Amino acid sequence: MAGPFLQKLSYGKPVPKKPKNKWQNGRSRWPVCLDTATLNKKLGIKEKIKLAANAGFDCIEPWDRELEAYEREGGNLKDLGKQIKELGLYVPSVIGLWSGMDVSREKFNNRLQEHRNRLRMVSEVGSQNIQVVPNFKEREAFDPQIASWCYGQVLDMAKNDYGMGAGVVFLNFFPGLSTLDQAKGIALGSGRKDAAIIPDTFHMYLGKSEFSNLGKLKGDFITIFQFADCPAGIEPHGRMDDSVRVLPGDGVLPLVEALGNLRKINYHGPISLELYNPKLRAREPVGFLEEALEKTVSVCEQASV
């Protein structure tokens, strides 16, 4: 008789059963996450957490400024982390460690206290990772080798002192760190075996990264996968243009293909809905999140079979 993971074909040869999808009532291979900046900035982090949980998301991706505001108002981040778990959510990563990839070793070291404070906050809320961001104010001085060194230092601090991982962010509008390949080079240039990157479908398209290249990575090289669609008529370019992001399936990006590549490389981390569209933020949040989750899960479902 076949074991629990086998089934028999009519000719009697047992074959492995396909694993059941673990998330979203069996519809998704991946947990579905909400980047909290997708919602109106006027909403506090506690309200955003409740909205995400009630909508049915599996996890949330807060921003450091939201954690700072919560502490400033007298909140305890460890208690907030407990509330997140009680609502059935978890925190795979937080955005972000600003200037974590700086333009010189000296400037990085001058920001050590700032970096450690952000790592503390992120750790206390229970996050598994932090997203490492370049120095926006001095982008003309960006040096990939220095960025790799800085990233290695962050990764060591995050892992050894706070029990977290850290991933390299890339952005279509940031010269030297605008593509999947450039982020990969900086991460691997750190020489750390637990280096990782944070792909984003929107930045991949605008920065002309090939979606097929996702299939050349290893699943554990991706910290979290940022997810959004882009409307027709938007050509790749080097400008910040987040306001045109649209819900998955409402645009023209090959999202099912992208997730299919993640499936092939055994990526099991979150798919994080990341929309900074002011028109979407202005919508009533309950109905908006209901639609947003359904459209995201629908794309995940197509790629999960």
For 258, other C-beta atoms within 10 Å of its C-beta total 23
Q: Which residues pair with 23 in a beta bridge?
A: 28
Q: CA 275 → CA 210, 232, 272, distances in Å?
A: 21, 16, 10
Among 24, 33, 31, 41, smallest CA distance to 280 is for 41
pLDDT along the chain (305 residues), means of 10: 37 49 96 98 96 98 98 98 98 98 98 98 98 97 98 98 98 98 98 98 98 97 98 97 97 98 98 97 97 98 94
Domains of the chain, earliest start first: 33-303 (3.20.20.150)
Q: CA 93 → CA 129, 141, 290, distances in Å?
A: 4, 28, 22
pTM of the shown model: 0.92
For 47, other C-beta atoms within 10 Å of its C-beta total 14
Q: What's the pLDDT tens digit per position in 193-211? A: 999 999 999 999 999 999 9
